[in-house]
A and B are shown apart, each in its own frame.
Chain A
Amino acid sequence: MSTLEIRNLHVTVETENGTKEILRGVDLTVKSGETHAIMGPNGSGKSTLAYAIAGHPKYTVTEGTITLDGEDVLAMSVDERARAGLFLAMQYPVEVPGVTVSNFLRTAKTAVDGEAPKLRTWVKDVKGAMADLRMDDSFAERNVNEGFSGGEKKRHEILQLELLKPRIAVLDETDSGLDVDALRIVSEGVNRAKEGTDLGVLLITHYTRILRYIKPDYVHVFVDGKVVEEGGPELADRLESEGYDRFVTAKA
């Protein structure tokens, strides 16, 4: 049982026009086995929240706390956060030329577990997870994200999610750029991880379509750097029919 707690989180980013505050007091609690959807219009700060949790150096936390089971996440380096059990499936995964997927996965698994995986079971696990995500075997010998299609990049993110077995995963617009088939395959991967490891999920999305495959327990509406409304799955349905207008106008 793990708990990710975000309290009064304020985050700034440096822009050409000086320092800009993106997150303005975010409160959120995600526990093992729970799925939280964060929905909001473009530019509301959803991705910033994801990156701030992962520790991207571009974002500065000016106020507030993030803890995982009481441990201060903000005091951890990026890799320490991952080893503590946090995972970020990125919207735009980065190409790493010359590093094969197979080498990358083994290195990451070794780092997260603190020891190299047993070769025989590991090869089987990787092959099995790839097959589940309809990824060809040859994928393992390609360079990380290099020349991957949008769908391949997202499958590769979920492949890592399934193999690294984090406690809490943040999925940043994992549905963007996916056709219906790919969306279903990727969602199945997330659901397998939820069932298998009691994963807690923070699902960041603009549209509701991924919520048809990954059922949220809670829905948070994110506008202008903070949560403005919270509810159950029914809130997502309402957003689907009404859009974000009422929140955006209310703000104005």
Chain B
Amino acid sequence: MSLLAQKNPAAGAHEDSAAAFVPDQSRAERKTSYAVDDFAVPGGREEDWRFTPVDRLSGLFQPGATEVDKLTLTVDGPEGVTTERVDPTAAGVLVPADRAAAVAWAGESKATRIAIPAEAELAEPVHITVEARDKARLNGHLVIEAGHHSKATVVLTHRGSAECGAVVEVKAGDGADLTFVTVQEWDDDTLHVAQNDVLVGRDARVRHIVVTLGGELVRISTNARYAGPGGSFEGLGVYFADAGQHQEHRLFVDHEAPHCHSNVEYKGALQGETAHTVWVGDVLIRAAAEGTDTYELNRNLVLTEGARADSVPNLEIETGEIVGAGHASATGRFDDEQLFYLQARGIPEDVARRLVVRGFFAAIVARIGVPEVSEHLMAAIDAELEGSR
């Protein structure tokens, strides 16, 4: 970290509220495997499970068949977009990095691949909707492939009641511009553990956007890598946890190619007893990744007593020849002075709260850049605040 400070004074503010933790190994050494048995069932003391209530996930740690009768999967996209069942290793982007992902991988003999043709520019988003009921056991394996120099937005929406383990591979060809949004609007009893791996092609730009609102326990691990130089990865996340909800977002951006850019920004609000959010942002800049420019940020707004937000940024740097690297993490309580100021202008308390929370999310929601997602998200946040009264 001192290396960073010396070589990159321009890297900006450095807040280390939760970053005192030092990993005992490089993030690159974390195990990956297709075989379920290569991963022990997590007991909760493992580094990558230490925040997760693993006792609730015992079902997703054991292989089980997908209950297809309780699942509706729809894909709706503009002309030219293809959907087909392919061999699971066809994309070659993702290798499971924990037991839940390995179980999900093993649970599906084929992957569903949605492909955007090379050089195609889609005027409308592709919509993938997963709708489940009655705590359906689901194993998901989805592949999103954007051909070279294509431009597209893909929105994956999860609804209903499920125990869902999933792996998602996102592959952007050279020069592609892909926005992938995963929305978790599950019912209150849903458990969802997903691994998303993103491979950014040469000079490609991928925006990976996570919106988590529903579910009892949602844990999404996002890993980004670069297939060549000049790639850009933007990871945006918005979450809102109510009483009893556990929402966990883990990111790992692995910079191996030179001259790549990454920017991660997650913002969450928490309200109600036992609402718990976890954000872990790992960035590794390998020796070869000269000219890297990376920043990650997590902000949490705690609206009520009894909620807990964990936030752990980690930055590992193996070369000093970089453009910039930084991170910031902050968790704050709802500011009563803001409330007073607004109320002193006649604005009723509930309206004032809504203004402040909307304000907290405004910038990041605007950056999502997919109007239907942004509008829906703001309405959902309003509904969450309404529900608290």
Q: A interface vs B, CB < 8 Å?
A: 54-57, 77-79, 81-83, 87-88, 90, 93-99, 103-104, 107-108, 111-112, 143-144, 160, 164
The answer for the CA separation of A62 and B358 in the assembled complex, in Å, is 36
- B336 CB–A CB distance under 8 Å: yes
Q: How far is the CB of A186 from chain B (nearest CB, A)?
A: 18
24 contacts between A and B (CB under 8 A): A57-B340, A77-B343, A77-B349, A79-B349, A82-B345, A82-B346, A90-B341, A90-B344, A93-B341, A94-B338, A96-B356, A97-B359, A99-B355, A99-B358, A99-B359, A104-B342, A104-B355, A107-B355, A111-B345, A111-B351, A112-B345, A143-B359, A164-B345, A164-B346
Per-position contact with A for B249-276: 1 when CB-CB < 8 Å, else 0?
0000000000000000000000000000
**Cβ < 8 Å to A, chain B residues 348-373:** 348-349, 351-352, 355-356, 358-363
Q: Tell me the complex Cα distance, A87–B346, Å.
A: 9
B287 at the interface (CB under 8 A from A): no
Chain B positions within 8 Å of A108 at CB level? 342, 345-347
**Complex formed: what's the CA distance from A97 to B356 in Å?**
7
Q: Which residues from B are CB-within-8-Å of A112?
A: 345-346
A94 & B359 in contact (Cβ 8 Å cutoff): no
Q: Which listed residue (B335, B337, B349, B351) contacts A107, Cβ 8 A?
A: B351
A79 with B359: CB separation less than 8 A: no
Query: Which residues does chain B contribute within 8 Å of A144, judged by CB atoms?
Result: 341
A164 to B359, CA, bound (A): 22
Complex contacts, A104 vs chain B, CB 8 Å: 342, 345, 355
Q: Which 7 A-B pairs have the closest CB atoms?
A: A98-B359, A82-B346, A98-B362, A78-B343, A108-B345, A94-B341, A112-B346
With contacts A97-B359, A164-B346 taken as known, whether A78 is within 8 angstroms of B340 at the C-beta atoms is yes
Q: In the assembly, what is the distance between CA of A160 and CA of B335, in Å?
A: 21
Distance of A77 Cα from B351 Cα, bound (Å): 14
Least Cβ–Cβ distance between A81 and chain B, in angstroms: 8
**Extra 9 A-B pairs, beta carbons < 8 Å, given A82-B347, A94-B338, A96-B342:** A77-B343, A78-B344, A82-B346, A87-B344, A90-B341, A94-B337, A95-B338, A104-B355, A112-B346
Q: How far is the CA of A56 from the CA of B337 in the complex (A)?
A: 9
Q: Is the CB of A99 within 8 A of B356?
A: yes
Shortest beta-carbon distance from A13 to chain B in Å? 15
Q: Please give the distance in Å from B381's CB to the nearest CB on chain A.
A: 12
Contact A98 B341 (CB under 8 A): no
Are A98's CB and B360's CB within 8 A? yes
- In the complex, what residues of A have CB within 8 A of residue B355's CB? 96, 99, 103-104, 107
Instruction: Let me know if A82 and B338 touch, CB within 8 A.
Output: no
The reply to whether A98 and B363 contact each other, CB–CB distance below 8 Å, is: yes
- The CA-CA distance from A82 to B345 in the complex, in Å, is 6
Chain B residues with CB under 8 A of A83:
346
Minimum CB–CB distance for A193 against chain B, Å? 15
- Taking CB atoms, residues of chain B closer than 8 Å to A79 are 343-349, 352
Which residues does chain B contribute within 8 Å of A98, judged by CB atoms? 358-363
Among B344, B351, B352, contact of A54 (Cβ-Cβ < 8 Å): B344
Contacts of A82 in B (CB 8 A): 343-347
CB contacts (< 8 Å) of B349 on chain A: these are 77, 79
Q: In whole Å, how far is B275's beta carbon from the nearest beta carbon of chain A?
A: 21
Provide the residues of chain A in CB contact with B360, threshold 8 Å. Answer: 97-98
- Given contacts A57-B340, A112-B345, are A96 and B359 in contact (CB under 8 A)? yes
Roughly how many angstroms separate A79 CA and B361 CA in the complex, as a whole number? 24
A104 to B338, CA, bound (A): 12
Complex alpha-carbon distance, A94 and B359, angstroms: 14
Q: In the complex, A31→B336 CA distance in Å?
A: 31
In the complex, which of the residues A96, A97, A164 contacts B341, with contact meaning CB atoms closer than 8 Å?
A: A96
Residue in A77, A98, A160 with the greatest tally of chain B CB atoms within 10 Å: A98
A74 to B: closest C-beta gap in Å: 15
Do residues A111 and B346 form an inter-chain contact, with CB atoms below 8 A?
Answer: yes
Contact B345 A160, beta carbon cutoff 8 Å: yes
Residues from chain B with Cβ under 8 Å of A97 in the complex: 359-360
Shortest distance from the beta carbon of A185 to any chain B beta carbon, whole Å? 21
In the complex, chain A residues whose CB is within 8 Å of the CB of B362: 98-99
Cα A79 to Cα B348 with chains together (Å):
6
* Contact status A57-B336, CB under 8 Å: yes
Q: Could you say which residues of chain B place their CB within 8 Å of the CB of A96?
A: 338, 341-342, 355-356, 359
Nearest-CB distance from A200 to chain B (Å)? Answer: 17
Least CB distance from A158 to B in Å reads 13
CA distance A95 to B347 in the complex (A): 16
Chain A residues within 8 Å of B346, by CB: 79, 82-83, 108, 111-112, 164
User: B351 to chain A: which residues have CB within 8 Å?
Assistant: 107, 111
Docked Cα-Cα span, A82 to B351, in Å, equals 14
Q: Closest approach, in angstroms, between the C-beta of B18 and any C-beta of chain A? A: 21
* Max chain B C-beta neighbours (<10 A), residue from A78, A83, A107: A78
Q: Across the interface, do B348 and A111 meet the contact criterion of CB distance under 8 Å? A: yes
- Decide: A88 and B344 in contact? CB cutoff 8 A: yes
Interface string of B89-126 (1 = CB under 8 A from A): 00000000000000000000000000000000000000
Question: Measured between C-beta atoms, what is the minimum distance from A106 to chain B in Å?
Answer: 11
- Separation of A132 and B359 alpha carbons in the complex (Å): 28
Complex: how many Å from CA A147 to CA B359?
15
* Measured CA separation A125–B349 after assembly (Å): 26
> Across the two chains, which residue of chain A brings its CB closest to B341?
A94
A90 vs B346: C-alpha distance when bound (angstroms): 14
Contact of B340 among A94, A103, A160 (CB under 8 A): A94
Chain A residue nearest in CB terms to B348: A79
A144 to B342, CA, bound (A): 10
Q: Which residues of A contact B363 (CB under 8 A)?
A: 98
- Measured between alpha carbons, how far is A188 from B3 in the docked complex, in Å? 55
Contact A56 B340 (CB under 8 A): yes
- With a 10 A CB-CB cut-off, give which of B338, B341, B346, B361 has the most chain A CB atoms: B346
Alpha-carbon distance A88/B345, docked complex (angstroms): 8
Minimum C-beta distance from B266 to chain A (A): 16
